[in-house]
Amino acid sequence: MTKTITLAKELIKKASITPDDMGCQDHMISHIKPLGFNVELMEYSNVKNFYARKGDSSPLIVFAGHTDVVPTGPIDQWRFDPFSPSEDDGLLYGRGSADMKTSLAAFIIAIEEFIDEHPNHNGSIGLLITADEEGIATDGTVKVVEALKARNEKIDYCIVGEPTSNKYFGDTVKNGRRGSLSAKLIVKGIQGHIAYPELIRNPIHEVAPVIDLLVKTVWDDGNEYFPKTSWQISNINGGTGATNVVPGEVEILFNFRYSTSNTADKLKERVETILVDHNLDYQISWNHSGNPYLTEKGMLVDKISGAIESVLNIKPSISTTGGTSDGRFISTICDQVVEFGPINASIHKINEHVNIKDVDLLKDIYKKTLENILCS
C-alpha cells in the first residue's frame, strides 16, 4: 500500500461530517510541519481551517481543499461501513473517498516528494484547508481569504482538489464555475371555494404565464468559456390539500446558474420587472451564494494540462460546468485558479468510491504541476 493510499484511508476513517473536522487537519499538519511549513490555525465559529506556507518568494502555488464530507445516508445501503475504507475489485470505498480525501492525501504526498526531490526549488508552496465547504460555507475558505486579503497576501496559482474528472480520470480540468443565485417567490391571491370563481383570485393561474415567460427568456448568450445562463424551478408549493379550495398563495423556489456574461443584480432586475409587468401581488427574497469565476487559458491551465498529458498521456478538456466550489472565494485573491481531482460519478452517493490506481496518479499530476511551475 502506497503512502498516498495509506494517508487517504487514514483521512476517510475520520467521520468528518460537515462542519466537523474530526482531527483530519491535525493529521495533515503532522505531515507538513516537519517539511518547514508555517501553519496558521484559523478557527471561526467552531469551524476549523488552516493556512500553511513554506517559503517567502514568488510564485506562490497553493493547494486548496476541504476535510468535511456530506452525511452518509442510510448506512445499511452501503456495501461497506462508509468510515471504514475498504478495497474491492480495484475500488476504494468510503465517504469522502472521491470528494475529496484522496485529493488531500495526494496534495500532502506530492508536496513531500517534490520537496525531497527539489529542495532548492523556486517560489513557495501553500495549503488552504477548510471543514466548511459541504455546508453553508460561511466560516471556512471565505473567512480565510478575507484574513489573507486584509494583510495583502496574494496567491499566484491555486489548485482546488475537487473531483472534476467525468468519464475517465484526467479528462477534465475546471478553469471556472458559474455563479449561483436563488430566490423564494410567493405570489398571493384570494383563497376560496373553487365553485365561486368570482370570489377568488387563483395565484397559480396568475403566475403560470410568468413561469412560461421566465422559462423562455434568454438571459444571455454565454461566452467562450460558459454556456448560457440557466433558470430552473426546484419547488412549487400551493394548495390546502382539499380539491375544492383555491389557495391563497403559491410559493416557488428557483435558481439561476449564470456566467460571467451576466451579474446577479441584472438578473434580479429582469425578474422583478417581469413580475411587476404582470401585476402580481408578490414577495421575493434572494440568496446569492456565489459569483462566477474564470481563469482564462494561460500559465496554470497550461502547466496542469501538461502534467496530465505527461502522466496519463491524455489531453484534458477545459470546462466550467458543475456546481459552485470554494474557488469562487479564492479567485478574489488569486488570478489563476483551477480545479482538478478524481472521477466525480459517485460523489455524495451511497457507496462513494475512487479507482485505487488513480490515487497515486493524482499525486503524480500534482507533483508534476509543481515541477512545471517551480522548477522551470
Please provide residue 75's backbone torsions phi and psi, each rounded to the nearest 5 degrees: -65, -30
Region for residue 136 given its phi and psi (left: phi exceeds 0; alpha: psi -120 to 50; beta: otherwise): alpha
Which strands form 86-88's sheet, in the order they lie side by side?
Answer: 86-88, 91-93, 353-355
- Three-state secondary structure call for residue 105: helix
> Is residue 348 annotated as involved in ligand binding?
yes
Pairing state between β 179-188 and 249-258: antiparallel
> Is residue 162 annotated as involved in ligand binding?
yes
Task: Evaluate whether 177 touches 258 at the Cβ level (below 8 Å).
Answer: no
- Looking at 94-214, which runs of residues are DSSP E strands? 124-130, 155-160, 172-174, 176-177, 179-188, 192-193
> Is residue 353 annotated as involved in ligand binding?
no
Pairing state between β 293-294 and 176-177: antiparallel
Query: Quick check: bond before 227 cis, omega within 30?
Result: no
> Is residue 31 annotated as involved in ligand binding?
no
> Is residue 66 annotated as involved in ligand binding?
yes
Q: Which residues contact 296 (CB under 8 A, 6 or more apart)?
A: 175, 225
The residues carrying an active-site annotation are: 68, 133
Which residues on adjacent β-strands are paired with residue 128? 51, 64
**Binding site listing for Zn(2+):** 66, 99, 134, 162, 348
